[in-house]
A and B are shown apart, each in its own frame.
Chain A
Amino acid sequence: MPTGPYDIGPAHVRLDALSKACGTERFSADHYPPGLLWAGAKRAGIPHGIIRRIDTAAARTLPGVHAVLTRADVPGTNRQGIVHKDMPVLCGSKVRHAGDPVALVVAENRDILRRALELIRVDIEPLPAVASIDAALAEDAPFIHAEHGSNILLSAEIRKGDAETAFPDCDIILEETFFTPAQAHAFLETENGLARLDEDGVLHLTASTQAPFRDRFEVGHALGLAPWNIRVTSPFLGGGFGGKDGATVQCLLGLAALKLPGRTIKMWWDREESFLAGYKRHAARMRYRVGAMSDGTLRAVSCLLQFDTGAYAHLGGEIMELGMEHAAGPYRVEHMDCRGECVYTNNPVAGAFRGFGVAQVSLAFEGMMDRLADRLGRDRLDLRRQNALRRGDRNCAGVTLTTSTGLDECLRTLRRHQFWTTRNEWKQAAPRFTRRGTGMAAVFNGMGYGRGLPDNAIAKIELAVNGRFIIYSGVPDMGQGNASTFAQIAGEMLCQDRTRLEVVQPDTEISHPSGSASAGRTTYTYGKALIRACELMTSKLIRRAALMLMIDEPGGFTLVPGAVRHLPTGKEVALSAMAVMLPRDDRVCVSEYLMPVSREVPPTGKDFALGFPHLIFPYAAHLVRIEIDEPTGLVRVCDYLAVTDGGRVLNPLNFHQQIEGGVAQGLGFALMEGLGTCNGQLITKDLSTYLIPTSLDLPDTVSLAAETLEHSGPFGMKGVGEVGMNGPLPAVASALSDALEAYIDRAPVTPEAVLKLLSRGGQA
């Protein structure tokens, strides 16, 4: 079947779709090289305590055990962490959460590994478990990190104007406190990887990771290795969502490989270990005070955001920063006083998760907008439109929006939709013993790393000897489809069809450092770099073609599928013919791109060394229609509409996939998910106690694009990986308040919670 160029705009099928559907795409977990050994960690089992003794004698003598390692075996600093290096590879003196690793076993097979782990005796003197934000902040609370001198990882402030003096002038002041729980990423491919130390001293890691280049530095720092002696490859991930941003298995595998040179060692956390030791979304408590004028103008927001980062920092401070930067919502507000506290506890470690601090505050600021609209007797949507940020406004962090700002268009699209226009009739038509409600939410999500951490990517493209183009991706594809979009960008720039394009997944040896797959930056930053690399490639191929065709000047050439054509003469040179003529160095083009940062210097946010502020924001307006079964309290999501401003849409298929997926995770967050812990011990250890949505729990989401032109982005796009996550919880809360005439202040909204609200006659 003839195909045209794999170009920008159409809903092209992803390059990776068929190989994944046929089971031939090899994920990290699918590698079983001959002679491999299995590694596993002995976990503390106690959330807080002092290690008295680790007895490994019995495990060591078990036949088939190749190594039993403890803290004393770790060279280097034994510390990992993206910003704060506070997380041991193996704990030697203290454990800070029940999933802390205290020993590492390498064995011939998994049966022996399991038996050896059971034979290790760990003697820990328990300390009181600091199991909540309040417990961490109590005056007599034990310090989780004594050297830090406080259980507060970071305390910060973002101010705009003077909220305290503005409140007395407000016509209406509302207060509320909101709670959201820790959420598990629950990717289908749990954390895993392989490692091998070669004779030349190079440590090879293959891992399910979102940040292969950073991993080199993490492992190098923790184990005392030179980063350039570590090679990381990152095949397609079986899901990431933030949970594979930061070291999971990498340092443990590196340690095992160092002790057993030449052997390939595999580690694959099972589902329970993933729940116990993997990263989670931060649980949060958010105290809000909002002041407005009687005409609906938002005037002042004062809030305290508290995040539970668990035992280690991970990106706790940076996640809190994003929450604070979005604390007053996508609205014009003259005065904001936002304080934040990110605290250590003995709960499982919290880290990056799609929506990165913003998914939490979205419940709060949208909850306040609903309450405000109701108090003022205003239409909830109109009140949001009245206050919606537009280009040229300063946002709640005081930063001027100089880039695409399409929130109002999202809201207008939503307002015209029949789900909104028919909401009253639909509600009245509720069957017996059911109640119906329609809710909406306006959300946004800053894109990129923010100031202080250069958001850079380096793209590399090669004309292979067979005449195909190979793109060396520097950023992993965890399922969002960026690899395929890279091919589409090259297809557009070089006018090539999909059979002539190939994307190589990140390998630190052959691709170039391009940052992590995170922050909605992946396609944006690498895509811009790739456009430039393709421009260099085009220019080079034209000049080489002119030489080969003996044409004096390189004008009038164009690339067509498989060839370079000279338009005035109609002569062509096949790319495959050119490729064999050119030395490899001449067939490779590399270029880079650095995401712009705000030039504004707001006199606030000084507590954040990196990440504040952001310049580019995707926006969205979401609507949900829910039905409540009165006898059981069960909430059914009947319809869902997401209208998204992600700049220009490069591929509608990939675009809507991202939105629908974010909505699915957001609905799970709203209605059923919440990591269960009791005094620091995990209760939800599997997928029958930690429920994620099934095909029976979700509606067919309608996703619409409200396209703007993001001038800075590749072909006008901006990243939409995260923003879809932020709408469902506030929209569901809004719909429930419509149905129940009671406000929701916490997630998840379980049937038990709904029944409680129903039994109170609708009074929350």
Chain B
Amino acid sequence: MIIRFNVNGRDTKLEVRGDERAVDLLRETLGLTGTKEGCGTGECGACAILINGRARLSCLTLAAQLDGHSLTTIEGLGTPEQPHPLQQSFAEHGAVQCGFCSPGMIVAAADLLIRNPHPKREEIREGLSGNLCRCTGYSRILDAVEKVEER
């Protein structure tokens, strides 16, 4: 089937299969490999993207469900040359180690900040609890989100 959607500001029209997952469409068809896959069953959060401004798991979303919607992936948030404040903050606060969870974590944090621009630390904990990180122990991730506006 043909779907139309907007990804990172660009209107896109694509033919997709009915059983195709959004994560595969992004990574393989569109080359947006910043979105990661860590489990494929919605448990780790590494594949999170923003759909109409809300964090959604692209491994549990069918490509067809993207029809008519607006997507932002980690690449759409910012680039190394012009990073999103969260991306900059993650780098500066040491919130990135292996970095495989970082895109999903940053997307989840972006979603949190849209809904709650000044979250308390415990609210950040809660808001990011669906995203697993195996490297950091989370403290510096919480720091990065907490202090993102201080600069």
Contact indicator B38/A271 (Cβ below 8 Å)? yes
List residues of chain A with CB within 8 A of the CB of B134: 185-188, 239, 241, 661, 664-665, 692
List residues of chain A with CB within 8 A of the CB of B74: 22-23
Number of interface residues of A (CB under 8 A): 57
Contact indicator B35/A23 (Cβ below 8 Å)? yes
A19 at the interface (CB under 8 A from B): yes
Looking at the assembled complex, report how far the CB atom of B30 sits from the nearest CB atom of chain A, in whole angstroms.
Answer: 11
List residues of chain B with CB within 8 A of the CB of A32: 27-28, 31, 33
Contact indicator B100/A239 (Cβ below 8 Å)? yes
Q: Which of A211-265 contact B (CB under 8 A)?
A: 236-241
Q: Mark B5-46, 1 if CB is under 8 A from A, else 0.
A: 000000000000001000000011001111111111101101
Bound Cα distance from A325 to B10, whole angstroms: 60
Q: Mark B120-137, 1 if CB is under 8 A from A, else 0.
A: 000011101111111111
Contact indicator B137/A238 (Cβ below 8 Å)? no
Q: Which of A14, A111, A239 neighbours the largest number of chain B CB atoms within 10 Å of its CB?
A: A239
Bound Cα distance from A177 to B132, whole angstroms: 34
Bound Cα distance from A32 to B36, whole angstroms: 13
Q: Mark A1-38, 1 if CB is under 8 A from B, else 0.
A: 00000000001011011111111111101101000000
Q: Which of A23, A190, A236 neighbours the largest number of chain B CB atoms within 10 Å of its CB?
A: A23
Q: Which of A527-574 contact B (CB under 8 A)?
A: none
B4 at the interface (CB under 8 A from A): no
A607 at the interface (CB under 8 A from B): no
The closest CB in chain A to the CB of B29 belongs to A32
List residues of chain A with CB within 8 A of the CB of B78: 22
Looking at the assembled complex, report how far the CB atom of B143 sits from the nearest CB atom of chain A, in whole angstroms.
Answer: 9
| Known contacts A21-B106, A30-B33, A239-B135; is-contact A478 B98 (Cβ 8 Å) | yes
A696 at the interface (CB under 8 A from B): yes
Q: Which of B97-113 contact A (CB under 8 A)?
A: 97-103, 106
Q: Which of B34, B83, B88, B137 neighbours the largest number of chain A CB atoms within 10 Å of its CB?
A: B137
B67 at the interface (CB under 8 A from A): no
Contact indicator A188/B34 (Cβ below 8 Å)? no
Total contacts A-B at CB 8 Å: 184
List residues of chain A with CB within 8 A of the CB of B102: 20-21, 23
Number of interface residues of B (CB under 8 A): 60
A97 at the interface (CB under 8 A from B): no
Looking at the assembled complex, report how far the CB atom of A390 sits from the nearest CB atom of chain B, in whole angstroms.
Answer: 30
Bound Cα distance from A654 to B49, whole angstroms: 28
Contact of B38 among A11, A190, A478, A654 (CB under 8 A): A190
A355 at the interface (CB under 8 A from B): no
List residues of chain B with CB within 8 A of the CB of A701: 137, 139
Interface of B is mostly: loop
Contact of B138 among A17, A30, A695 (CB under 8 A): A695
Looking at the assembled complex, report how far the CB atom of A63 sits from the nearest CB atom of chain B, in whole angstroms.
Answer: 16
The closest CB in chain A to the CB of B136 belongs to A661
A408 at the interface (CB under 8 A from B): no
Contact indicator A189/B38 (Cβ below 8 Å)? yes
Contact indicator A16/B96 (Cβ below 8 Å)? yes
Contact of A16 among B87, B99, B101, B124 (CB under 8 A): B99
Bound Cα distance from A11 to B103, whole angstroms: 23
B68 at the interface (CB under 8 A from A): no
List residues of chain A with CB within 8 A of the CB of B132: 186, 188, 687, 692, 694
The closest CB in chain A to the CB of B78 belongs to A22
Bound Cα distance from A241 to B136, whole angstroms: 12
Bound Cα distance from A657 to B96, whole angstroms: 9
A455 at the interface (CB under 8 A from B): no
A-B contact pairs, 23 of them (CB 8 A): A11-B94, A17-B91, A20-B96, A20-B99, A22-B34, A24-B75, A24-B80, A25-B99, A27-B36, A187-B134, A188-B101, A479-B100, A479-B135, A660-B140, A661-B135, A664-B136, A664-B137, A693-B137, A694-B132, A695-B128, A696-B125, A696-B129, A698-B137
Q: 10 closest A-B pairs (Cβ-Cβ)?
A: A23-B34, A479-B98, A20-B99, A238-B100, A664-B137, A23-B74, A17-B91, A30-B33, A687-B43, A188-B100
